[in-house]
Amino acid sequence: MSKTQVLLVEGNGDKFIIEKLRDDVAHLPKNFEILAKHGVDNLIESISVEIVTNKDTIGILVDADENLQSRWDAIKSRLSKKYYVPDNMPAEGLIIEENNKKVGVWIMPNNELKGMMEDFIAMLIPENDALMPIVDCTLTYLETQKLNLYTQIHKPKTRIKTWLAWQKDPEISIGTAISKHILETEQDICQKFVLWLKTLFDTNE
Query: Which CATH topology does 5-113+186-200 take?
Result: Rossmann fold (3.40.50)
The structure's pTM equals 0.94
pLDDT tens, position by position, 129-147? 999 999 999 999 999 999 9
The confidence score (pLDDT) of residue 54 equals 85
- pLDDT at 205 (0 to 100): 44
Mean pLDDT value of segment 140-163: 97
Q: What is the pLDDT of residues 33-58, one digit of tens each?
A: 999 999 999 999 999 999 999 899 99
SS3 string, 123-178, reads: CCCCCCCCHHHHHHHHHHHHHHCCCCCCCHHHHHHHHHHHHHHCCCCCCCCHHHHH
Read off the pLDDT of residues 60-90 as tens digits, 9 standing for 90 and up: 999 999 999 999 999 999 999 999 999 999 9
Domain extent listing, the chain: 5-113+186-200, 117-179
Confidence grade of residue 99 (pLDDT, cut at 50, 70, 90): confident
d(CA 75, CA 78): 5
| C-alpha closest to that of 48 among 74, 28, 19, 25 | 74
